[in-house]
Structure formats: C-alpha cells, structure tokens
Amino acid sequence: MAAAPETSATAASPSTSTSTDAPAVNIGTRRSLLARVQTDIVANELRKAWPERKFEIVAMETMGDKNLKTALHEFNAKALWTHELEALLEKGELDCIVHSLKDMPTQLPNSMTLGCIFPRADPRDALVVKSSLPYTSLSSLPSGAVIGTSSLRRSAQLKRLYPHLRFADMRGNLGTRLAKLDAPESEFAALILAAAGLERIGLGSRITDYLSKSNGGMLHAVGQGAIGVEIRTEDAEARKLFEKVGCERTTRACLAERSLMRTLEGGCSVPIGVETEWVSKKNALGHNGGTGVGVGVKPAEEYHKMTGVAKPEAKDEEGEELMDELIMRAVVVSLDGQQAVEVEGRRRINSREDADEFGWEMAQRLVEKGAAKILEEINLNRKIIEEQGDA
Ligand SMILES: NCc1[nH]cc(CCC(=O)O)c1CC(=O)O
C-alpha cells in the first residue's frame, strides 16, 4: 500500500496576502472513481469555506480494492475498506477520511468520530437492466431472471417482494459490474445499485427504475447516498474546519438511520432497510393530508427537495425550516425473505439528539413487532452476515 498524494489544492493557491503558515489539511480517500468524486465534493466545500487554508487529497489503494476477487468472504468487508486509512488517520498522516456514509460502521473506534455529513444524493436503490434487454421494471422481468447483487439487504427484500426472480452475487467497482451485466454471455438480466453512486460517476443514464417504498416496496441502506467524513475524536482543529460545511438536514436524517441500525445490530450488519423523509408542518397539513409522501416515480430533482439534498435554508439550529418533522420507514427481513417486520413513524426533530432518539424509538418498535425473532435467527448465521455487509 503506497500513499500517493495525487492532487494538490489548486482552488486555493496560497496567495501572499491571505496565506497562513498552517499546515495543509490531508484528506484521505480510497482510489475508486466514486470515492474520488465524493472527495472532490468535500475538498471543494472546504476550500470555499476556508479559502486561506490548503487542502490536499491523498488517494490510497486499500486492501479491499486489491482483493476484490479473492477471498472477500474471509474478511469483514466494512473493516477492509476503512482499516488502512484509519491507521494513517490515527498516526496523523491524514486529518480526515471521506467515506460513503453507508460503508461506515455505526460504531467507530473511540479515537475516531464522524466529523461531518455532506448533502445526500438520491438515496434510493436503482434497477439497471442489461442494455440488450427491453424490460423496464422488476415486476416485468420474466420468471427466473437473475438479478446481480451482493447485498443481503437487497436480496432479502426483493425475494419477498418478487418471488419470481433469482439472485446471484455480483461484485467489483461500478464499471466492472456494468460490464459484466452487459456482456452477451452473462447470466444477469439486471443489477440493483445505489442511484447515488451511478449518478455521481456520470452513469445515471443507466438507471432503468428507482426503487422505494412507493415504487415496489424496497427500502434503501442506512446512510445511503450521503458522504461521511471521519476525523480523530481529539482533533479540535478538524472539528472547527468541518463545522462550516455539511448539511444539517442530511446529518439529522442519517443520524436517525444510524441510531436505528446501531440499536438493532449491536455492531454487525443485518438486512435492515430504511427511508427517511423531511416533511414541513405546512406540507403535512396541506393538500397531501399528512400521509406518507409517494416518492417512487418522482424525478430525481423533485425527490431531492423532499429528502433534504438541497442545502438547508435554515441558518441556525432552532430555525423554523429545520424544525420540520421526519418520517422514517424501516424494515427488518429474514435472509430468505419469508419474514419481515415493518414500521413507519413520524416525529418533530429539533436537534441531533432528537434524531438519535427517534432512530432508537423506531428500533424499539421493530423489536416489539417481532424483529427480535428475525434478528436472533440472523445471529445464528452471523458469520455469513459479517462477510457480506451492504455490498
Ligand atoms: N458498498 C458499496 C457502495 N458504497 C456506496 C455506494 C454508492 C453510493 C452510496 O450509496 O452512498 C456503493 C455502491 C452501491 O451500493 O451500489
């Protein structure tokens, strides 16, 4: 593993009058295209917020990237992606690490903390049909069609919702997966991928359909579509730098989702699907009658407005715009898709603590409705779960 500083701060060329002697801030990232695009988003926001500081991107090839084909099952997939970068963060060679939030464990080492969450891209899962096939939805795919996904959350939910389909493992970076799908000899009819990843690397046009509660019933992963930045817990300087950037609405929604997951899993991945959605009091009492809002087939832009992707208008934590209500839908599914427990709740969120508590409450409700039995069974198979995560 070789550290390779690849880009330097071009946006903030240290001009004579404003430059400080503060050392450059080193931003760590994996080397995949998606990781690089997300890191550029973070670096650009930091450069805008702190024009006098210098930010450098350090892109690393991690074990997870190198060993994709061989024996991924022998490792805890999530730790694999983050371990080496975390070691450099610990040593001070990096000052922060940019992650897809959904790949960050809900329990970080004590010495690390989540410094910031950036605006969410479309959090939904997407159906991508093989380019030579005419199908436009999961329900229209023929019986026995093979869907590629390595995520237990996706396959468990879809087995339940679409018993006519079959599921097979598919790994590799996004480009590799699409190439495998489209190969004439491939057994796959379609893939399930995160819309956010495809859109961020410019492959949004491959999306055949967006999946959600209101369009097929499938719920996405905790933190999906959001960017999380990991810093050292003791690093007051980094905390200060990240206070000026990020998105409070995304942060609160994602903290609620992560709290739900942490409460249910106690550290390891289980097939939990979730959806959160901000609704303003105004909307809730308005024409849609305060019922769950149908988001399934809305174009991405309209959807973004509802999920807090746009920068929050509120300037201050108690601001009226931020005192909206959050809807959360969550599901726990058995691995074979035979059993599922679902809840939907809604709560006014005035702080990050409220968000955390909301996630905890929703987890309690899931347990009361029988999620514990499903989780116990999954615990018996814990080994398998640890291997797979939300690939
Ligand atoms: N574990 C893989 C992973 N991690 C983050 C994304 C996409 C971006 C996101 O969801 O934030 C993906 C690919 C996928 O699930 O299709």
332 lines ligand 1 (CB under 6 A): no
CA pair distance 232, 111, nearest whole angstrom: 6
Q: What is the mean pLDDT of the chain?
A: 83
Atom 8 (ligand 1) nearest CA:
197
- pLDDT of residue 288 exceeding 50, the answer is no
SS (H, E, C) 16-50: CCCCCCCCCEEEEEECCHHHHHHHHHHHHHHHHHC
Q: Which residues does residue 228 pair with via DSSP β-bridges, in sequence order?
A: 99, 117
249-388 shares the fold of 4-117+227-246: no
The architecture in CATH of the region 249-388 reads 2-Layer Sandwich (3.30)
Confidence of residue 383 (pLDDT cuts 50, 70, 90): low
Q: What is the position in ligand 1's atom list of the atom closest to the CA of 223?
A: 11
Between the CA of 288 and the centroid of ligand 1 the distance, in Å, is: 32
Catalytic positions, written as ranges: 102-103, 153-154, 171, 177, 268
Q: Higher pLDDT residue, 15 or 94?
A: 94
Q: What is the position in ligand 1's atom list of the atom closest to the CA of 227?
A: 11
What 3-state DSSP class applies to 233? coil
Angle at alpha carbon of residue 237, lines to 231 and 242, rounded to 5°: 60
The pTM assigned to this predicted structure is 0.84
* Residue pLDDT, tens place only, 230-280: 999 999 999 999 999 999 999 999 999 999 999 997 545 579 999 999 997
Q: Which two tokens stand for residue 356?
A: 């955390």
The best mutation among 29, 30, 32, 34 to test binding of ligand 1, ranked by most ligand atoms within 8 Å of the C-beta, falls on 34
Domain boundaries, the chain: 4-117+227-246, 125-211, 249-388
- pLDDT of residue 100 exceeding 50, the answer is yes
pLDDT attached to residue 385:
56
Domain 4-117+227-246 has CATH 3.40.190.10: yes
CATH node for 125-211: 3.40.190.10
In angstroms, what CA-CA distances link 192 with 61, 113, 148?
A: 25, 30, 7
ipTM of the prediction greater than 0.95, yes or no: yes
Q: Which residues contact 236 (CB under 8 A, 6 or more apart)?
A: none
Picking from 219, 214, 217, 253, the residue whose alpha carbon sits closest to that of residue 120 is 253
- pLDDT of residue 51 exceeding 60, the answer is yes
The best mutation among 103, 254, 309 to test binding of ligand 1, ranked by most ligand atoms within 8 Å of the C-beta, falls on 103
- pLDDT of residue 319 exceeding 80, the answer is no
122 lines ligand 1 (CB under 6 A): no
Other C-beta atoms closer than 10 Å to the C-beta of 302 total 9
- pLDDT of residue 82 exceeding 60, the answer is yes
